[in-house]
Amino acid sequence: MAAKISYADVEVGTELPAQSFPVTRATLVRYAGASGDFNPIHWNEKFATEVGLPNVIAHGMFTMAEAIRVVTDWVGDPAAVVEYGVRFTKPVIVPNDDKGALIEVSAKVAVLLEDNRVRVDLTAMSAGQKVLGMSRAVVQLA
């Protein structure tokens, strides 16, 4: 499957559709099972607070994966993402209630590169705090 977005159709500042991703404790348990990361900071509130965290936190790689969905949904082909990197700036804190947390992601084209590639800069927020810094993806467009 090729990218659905044409290089000719984008310019610096093109905004991708923003998305919000809910995260509950059940989400974290499922992710732990899929990833094999059963660190108790991701499911045990007592342990998390004993090691100095405010509560259970989402896996960093989970947060990173949710954020890039904004780009893959926009481009229409996950394989079009040729580079992706972030800095983890704040944890996503997931309370033990029926609401959990929300990761809110926006993105825009920041740089037009050679060979029909663009750099997309992402902003990921949770509870009013930026949870990923330097979040950038290079995307191969049609």
Tell me: the pLDDT tens digits for 79-129? 999 999 999 999 999 999 989 999 999 999 999 999 999 999 999 999 999
DSSP string, 83-142: EEEEEE-S--B--SSSS-EEEEEEEEEEEE-STTEEEEEEEEEETTEEEEEEEEEEEE--
Contact criterion met (CB below 8 Å) for 42 and 103: no
Rg of the Cα trace of the chain? Answer: 16
Q: At residue 83, what is the residue type?
A: E
Buried b (16+ CB within 10 A) or exposed e, 101-121: bebbbbbebeeeeeebbbebe
> pTM of whole model > 0.85?
yes
- For position 124, what pLDDT does the model report? 98
Q: What is the pLDDT of residues 70-80, one digit of tens each?
A: 999 999 999 99
- The predicted pLDDT at position 1 comes to 66
d(CA 121, CA 115): 18
Q: Which domains does the chain show, CATH number per domain?
A: 7-22+57-140 (3.10.129.10)
- Scanning 13-96, the segments in alpha helix (DSSP H) are 25-35, 45-50, 60-75
Percentage, residues of the chain above pLDDT 70: 99
**Which pLDDT does position 95 carry in this prediction?**
96
In this predicted structure, the answer to whether residue 18 has a pLDDT above a threshold of 70 is yes
Distance, in Å, from the CA atom of 106 to the CA atom of 99, rounded to the nearest integer, reads 21
**What percent of the chain stands above pLDDT 90?**
96
Confidence band of 4 (pLDDT split at 50, 70, 90) = confident
Which pairs from 118-124 meet CB under 8 Å and 24+ separation? Answer: 118/7, 118/10, 120/16, 120/71, 122/67, 122/68, 122/70, 122/71, 122/86, 124/63, 124/66, 124/67, 124/86
